[in-house]
Every structure is written in structure tokens, then in C-alpha cells.
Amino acid sequence: MANVFLASLIGLTFVDVLVIFSSNDPIEVTRKVKSRLSLGDDNKVILRILNKTTQPISFTMIEGYPNEMQDRSSVLRGLLSSKSSKEFTYTFQPKKRGEYLFGDVFVMIRSMFFLASRRIDIELEETIHVYPSVLQMKKYELLVFQQQKTSAGIKRIRRLGNNSEFEQIKNYVQGDDLKSINWKATSRRNELMINQYQEEKSQSIYCIIDKSRSMQMEFDGLSMLDYAINSSLVFTNIALKKGDKAGLITYSDKIGTLLPAEHSSGQMRRIQETLYNQKTLFKESNYDLLYQSVRKTIKTRSLLVLFTNFETEFAMRRAIPMLRKLNQKHILVVVFFQNSELQDLAFRPSKTIQEVYQATIAEKLISTKSKIARELKQNGIQTVLTLPEELSINTINKYLELKARGSI
């Protein structure tokens, strides 16, 4: 009986080996991932494995995750019948701009008897570029230009003054301003009609991004600089869609990039490429140089949206003289950050003396930020103090508010 069992085992092993080694190319693996991923977003990656043989096979697959994912233990397993395929989907959330390397895929296959296995290396190495978030750009574009948007955070701002030209009379839809109803046209058509106005266009709008040391703090793995870069892409896209001209300036101790405001067809692509290539500089901000550069290069009155950060009143007061000069010639909006982690710490119930001290210090730092915002406003400077995750929505709302007022 032992000899029969051994002979049977050897025979089955031979069949197993024959099955999994009979084909030079028993499986096919493909990876589907966009060539440009969005910074800070969940980007979908799809792996597909196909059994090209006439026999069912069991497989264990190891994906060549980028090093930044810190994933060395995840394996994908399954059973494939003849000529069938299986897909696996996972998400990759990059926290920095730049190049990411997806490596080769390794697959271990076995036949139905599990007596032999074969390793197959699939060459799928590819370099993927992570750009400022196109997903957020498209998301906010949809929110701004669709009718039902207030529930998502985009404010419907009442139009003030008469800075718009009459365009047409159209049917009323939910969310339109009731004060724009044309009662004569309504009575003639026996349905609500409103006057639609065309906003003034071709205003120059610049996003100015501070790349100094103060912008290197991270929230949820993303630096304030990258939050500002994502928001700048979202904001300039909205401005261009609104018919305005958009430009970009970056600076720290010296001027980095100065992209003149335009409304050409390729401006959005140029802005995206420029934002992708920004490098971190651990220097102090030079507001004198920023003012001189803006004075020389921007000749017409423009909207300047300055993304920066002030941690102390001293830092803000050192910058105020130049900010006031900028605000005299242009419309300046200073956007800086509230520390979301401090807010969590300040409002968390305290159980120990140490936690009471921590909460007290956190409240004091939060209060300092509010004082900075008040002092900027007292100096006539438009100010947006925002949590990092609410940066884009609050910046867009400020822009729409200024458009509605006729300030730009």
C-alpha cells in the first residue's frame, strides 16, 4: 500500500508540474492606473489577472506597490477557472508631488492538486507622476456651476450693485435670485421668468503662494504648501471658467515663479505644470521683494490671493507694511491656516492636569490666530482664516463674494 501511495503521489506531482509548466505564458497580468495621479486624493488602481490555460489554477499575487505606500505584507489570492480573469482594486493616496515608481508584479501559481508551484515575474514597472489634485478641481467646478450647490458649502452670494450686463431672459430654476424675476415676461408666459446677467470678465487674478518655512507644517500628511497648491489649481480653474484671467506667483526669500495672468486655451495646463514643479524652500518670506516684484510686473489693478501662514502676531506685523502697500494698488486677500489639531486639543474633554494645560495653550494659540485675522481686517485687508481641509471652499466663496460686490 505504501508503494502504491508513493507511486500515486509521484504521478500526481508529475501531472501537477506538467500542468503549471506546460505553458510558457500561463497567465497575463495588467495594471490600470492613470499616468497622472491627484495629490492627497484616493486614486484607484486596478490589477487584472487572466488564466490563459485550459486548467484551473490557484494564485498568490504580490503587487509592486510604491515605496511610499509602506505596504510590504498585502497579498492577493484567488482561484481562476480556465480562460477566466479576476480584478483587484485598491486606492493610493500620495502625500507629495513628484514621481512614484510602481514595481513588477510577482505571482505564484498552483494547479488543482497543490503539489507544485511556479513563480512568475511580470514586468510592470512604471513611473507615475503625482500632480496637484485634478479630482478636486473637477469637483469644485461642478459645485460652482451647478444650481444646487449651497448644501456642499458653496455659498450663493446676492449680487450687489450693477456691475453686470443684461444677457437674456430665461426660465426660473430653483436656487435663482428671486429679485431677478421679470414680472412682465412672467405674466406673458404664465410661468416664472428671470433676467440673467453676465458678469464682468477678463479681470486679472493672481494666486501668490508662500513657499517659506512657515508653510511646511503638515496636516493629515499633507503640508500647508501642498494644500495651497491644490487650492490654487481649483481656484484658477474657477476663475478661468468665469471668464477672468489667471496668473501665478511663488516666493520665499526670493521670487520663484511669475506666470502672467492670461485667459488663453493653454493657461490651465501651464498653471498645472508650474504648480507640479514647485520646490520647498526652508527660508523666511521676503515681503519687500514680493511687493517690488508685483509693482514692476502687474500694471493693472488685480485680485491677489496670497496663501501664507502667520503663527505669531510679530510675524504678521513684520509683513503688514508691504501687505498694506499691495492692498493700495490691488485687491489683496490673505489666506492663512487655522491649526485643526489644536482645535481638537482645545475642545477635547480634559481629565488630567496635563490635559488642562494642553487645552489652555491650544486655546491661546487659536486666539492668537483670530487676533491676527482681526488686525489684518482693521488694516483694510481681506482675510480668510481657514482649516486646511476647508481651504478651497472658503477661497472660492471669497472670490464669489468679491465678484458679487463688484470689487473685481
Mind listing the pLDDT tens digit for each residue in 65-81?
998 887 767 889 999 98
* Distance from the Cα of residue 293 to its chain's centroid: 28
Q: Quote the pLDDT of residue 227.
A: 95
Q: Which amino acid is at 52?
A: K
Residue 178: CB atoms within 10 A of its CB come to: 8
CA distances from 376 to 17, 316, 384 (A): 76, 8, 10
Percent of the chain as helix, strand, coil, to the nearest 5: 40, 30, 30
pLDDT of 335 higher than 70 = yes
pLDDT per position as a tens digit, 347-392 = 778 778 887 777 787 788 888 999 999 999 999 999 999 999 999 9
- Whether residue 163 is predicted with pLDDT greater than 60 in this model: the reply is no
- Residue 5, pLDDT > 70, answer no
Provide the pLDDT confidence category of residue 162 given band limits of 50, 70 and 90. very low
Packing angle between helix 391-405 and helix 224-241, nearest 10 degrees? 40
Q: How do residues 94-148 score in pLDDT, each as one tens digit?
A: 999 999 999 999 998 887 666 667 888 999 999 999 999 999 999 998 888 775 4
Which helix or strand (DSSP H or E) is residue 399 part of?
A: helix 391-405
C-alpha distances in Å from residue 176, one per residue of 166, 194, 403, 404: 15, 8, 17, 14
Asked whether 235 and 307 are in contact (CB, 8 A), the reply is: no
pLDDT single digits (tens) 16-70: 666 666 777 889 999 999 989 999 999 999 999 999 888 888 899 999 999 888 7
Count the alpha carbons within 13 Å of 221 in the hemisphere toward its beta carbon: 10
Q: How confident is the model at residue 302 (pLDDT cuts 50, 70, 90)?
A: very high
DSSP 259: E
Give yes or no for a contact between 251 and 285, defined as CB atoms under 8 angstroms apart.
yes
Place of cell 507640479: 276
Average pLDDT estimate for 278-306: 91
pLDDT of residue 56: 84
Position 320 pLDDT exceeds 70: yes
Distance CA 254, CA 288 (A): 10
Strand ranges of the sheet holding 85-92, from the earlier edge strand across to the other edge: 27-32, 43-51, 85-92
pLDDT of 4 > 90? The answer is: no
Sign of the C-alpha dihedral, residues 146, 147, 151, 157?
positive
Counting runs of H as helices and runs of E as strands, what totals does the chain give?
Answer: 10, 19
Residue type, 394: N
Task: Say what percent of the chain tops pLDDT 70.
Answer: 85
**Cell numbers representing residue 351 in the block:** 481629565
Q: With bands split at pLDDT 50, 70 and 90, how would you rate the model's confidence at 160?
A: very low
What does pTM read for this prediction?
0.80
C-alpha–C-alpha distance, residues 150 and 370, integer Å? 26
Sketch out the chain's domains with CATH numbers: 22-131 (2.60.40.150), 134-157+201-405 (3.40.50.410), 165-198 (no CATH)
Residue 255 has pLDDT above 90, yes or no: yes
CA angle centred on 382, ends 366 and 277, rounded to 5°: 85
Cell of 404: 458679487
